[in-house]
Amino acid sequence: MKYNSFLPISALLALCLISILVHFSVIPPGAQLLESIRDVFSEGVYWVIFLIILLESIVYVGFYFPGQFFAVVLVVGANPSIKDIVYLTIAMVLAATIGSLINYFLGQSTGTKDANESVKKNEQIKVSNLLIAMIHINSLAFFMFNQGAQNKSIKIVGLAGLLNLPYYLLLIAGTAVLSEQVMAMAENTYMLISVISIWLIIALFFDIKKARANKLKAQSV
């Protein structure tokens, strides 16, 4: 991406547009559609969870579906056994990994030729950046999109999949221990808008800093 602020601006616009369409009943709430999916596939709960997480893990689409929270509550509310929790975790990790792969290739398709050539595919993966992105499934989606746009190593997708194993186990445990209201905060629209706005401010700072550096460089030539 030429500008760091492109993704947060597009994310903010997409989230606001979805919120407006839902508010004026142009489209139904994402949770309502997820309820319908659950009712249709009432016997195949893990396939439902797989689909729900996959939908939320895709860049932009994820703003519409509160999949992570919905999927965990769906199983935890049914008093799952250890076996159920293992199957739930596997379904969620597979879905999130496939979603990351989709986002990576979507980002790669938007990257410019010059940008792709300037970044080495064998560049060392920064685990710290990945861990920060994994705070929320939507932030992970944009992170993977950006990795693809910069033509970074696709190994980052596999690493995210491995890290998702303990992450989703903790998420399930957290939902079981904490109230649904507390866990639902992560899917709150206003919370997401606040986080994206902070991301946008930081991105604009780096864009302005880069523009000034380029200007000074041009003046010195």
User: What pLDDT score does 124 carry?
Assistant: 65
Percentage above 90 pLDDT, the chain: 20
Question: Of 54-63, 114-123, 124-133, where does mean pLDDT reach its minimum?
Answer: 114-123
Provide the whole-model pTM. 0.77
User: What pLDDT score does 161 carry?
Assistant: 92
> pLDDT tens digits for 45-101?
778 888 888 988 999 988 888 777 677 667 666 666 777 778 888 888 999 999 999
User: What pLDDT score does 189 carry?
Assistant: 75
159 band by pLDDT with thresholds 50, 70 and 90: very high
User: What pLDDT score does 96 carry?
Assistant: 93
Average pLDDT score over residue span 182-195: 69
Residue reference for tokens 């919120």: 19
Q: Are the CB atoms for 59 and 148 separated by under 8 Å? A: no
User: What pLDDT score does 104 carry?
Assistant: 96
Residue 187 confidence (pLDDT) above 90 = no
Nearest by Cα to 63 from 195, 167, 170: 195
User: What pLDDT score does 41 carry?
Assistant: 60
Question: Of 31-45, 77-91, 142-156, 207-221, where does mean pLDDT reach its minimum?
Answer: 31-45
Mean pLDDT of the chain: 80
User: What pLDDT score does 66 carry?
Assistant: 74
Nearest by Cα to 193 from 3, 18, 69: 18
CA atoms of 2 and 11, how far apart (whole Å) = 16
Q: What residues contact residue 45 under an 8 Å CB cut-off, 6+ apart?
A: 38, 74, 75
